[in-house]
Structure 1
């Protein structure tokens, strides 16, 4: 059960940030600038977002480009903020969901395989900075996702915690730490997480999952229901 959760840890790509178009555009601009004829496509980018940098570039680039993947990554980072502002976007409901959870007293944390520059550029698009308590990337301290998750949980000792993500990496990291996991099925890895115990089809469904169903009838319906109960008594 998720009734006592106080700390919510979010992945970024595919969970908060709809970044397929942005990453495809940025990568192809870099490849063109560096003189390569190869171009990536959105389907390949979508299938591999959320992986570590080396694994990501190994799959999305052809053999010739991959020999120079670190230089390609460096150039991608040079252009990341401008490309993010033009093509990055939040999934519907991200900002309002963070605001609602923050106002309900939840601690909201971001963790990711991305670089610090990428994370900061994403925050400019997501508009959720006022609601976030802490952020950390795997490259900040050389930790893999399971170890990074362990570190973050230790910073909030005693708080019941849930992890929200869209890829198998997040499910495995949560399981390694004995934490519940919410599968963001609207994201990029829906097939690999479709058997998760907790699932959401949109980010705003997270509020009800954590808070439980609320009484949503209008005042008029509520008064009518009370009158009927009195008559039946």
Structure 2
């Protein structure tokens, strides 16, 4: 193994409280959306791409309106996170510090441009990661973005750490082992390795 590629939400941190405030500020401006977004709603869409999120959260409106709402949500949430950050999982920076001395570290997340950047900036974690990618920048699936990171950085034996079934499928698409972060938002039945807390990575690697 020469590197570790991480998912972000549900794997490195939990930003749902801050994102919830931002998204509901947007939703309040649409009379056709009757109910506010809940924390459970947000957790259920973690790891999905934008079109899937729109269909799941706003089924009562057309796809154009879904995408309009989500575009506004994504624009405003980075501003919120830049000011408030999120909740890092226990011992995250200490574990990253140790891992980064042995392996190159990366992030591949299904998010918009700017989201990973504000995560790194607010929590001052830029120095631990070599590179990152997202569909907001490339328009590619998570599996394709993992392959892009592998090619761009000449990785030979990476693993992918994530918390959802979509993460597992992305790792399979990229042809690399999947480490299931069971403490996160999703439920995954099959995996190559499993961790129940972030610092379990130190035992695994």
Same fold (TM over 0.5): yes
Q: Match for residue 98 of structure 1?
A: 96
8 Å CA contact retained: 1:171, 1:181: yes
Number of equivalent positions: 203
After TM superposition, give the deviation of residue 62 of structure 1 in Å.
4.1
| Alpha-carbon distance between aligned partners in 2 of 1:40 and 1:158, rounded to the nearest angstrom | 39
After TM superposition, give the deviation of residue 66 of structure 1 in Å.
5.6
Instruction: Indicate which of 41, 45, 52 corresponds to 2:42.
Output: 45
Change (3 A) 1:162 1:51: same
Please, which moves more after superposition, 143-152 or 72-81?
A: 72-81
After TM superposition, give the deviation of residue 171 of structure 1 in Å.
0.8
Instruction: Give TM-score scaled by structure 1 length.
Output: 0.80
Q: Does 1:199 find its partner at 2:168?
A: no
| Alpha-carbon distance between aligned partners in 1 of 2:58 and 2:22, rounded to the nearest angstrom | 13
Please, which moves more after superposition, 32-41 or 130-139?
A: 32-41
Counterpart mapping for 1:1-233 below 5 A: 5-35=1-31, 36-64=33-61, 67-84=64-81, 85-86=83-84, 88-102=86-100, 104-157=101-154, 159-189=156-186, 191=187, 193-210=188-205
| Alpha-carbon distance between aligned partners in 1 of 2:117 and 2:197, rounded to the nearest angstrom | 23
Q: Secondary structure at the match of 1:63?
A: coil
Please, which moves more after superposition, 36-45 or 132-141?
A: 36-45
Change (3 A) 1:87 1:128: closer
Q: Secondary structure at the match of 1:187?
A: coil
Change (3 A) 1:130 1:151: same
Structure 1 stretches of 4+ with a deviation exceeding 6 A read none
Structure 1 gaps, min length 5: 211-233
After TM superposition, give the deviation of residue 87 of structure 1 in Å.
6.1
The structure with the largest helix share of the pair is 1
Structure 2 gaps, min length 5: none
The alignment yields a C-alpha RMSD, in angstroms, of 1.9
8 Å CA contact retained: 2:113, 2:134: yes
Structure of larger gyration radius: 1
8 Å CA contact retained: 2:41, 2:57: yes
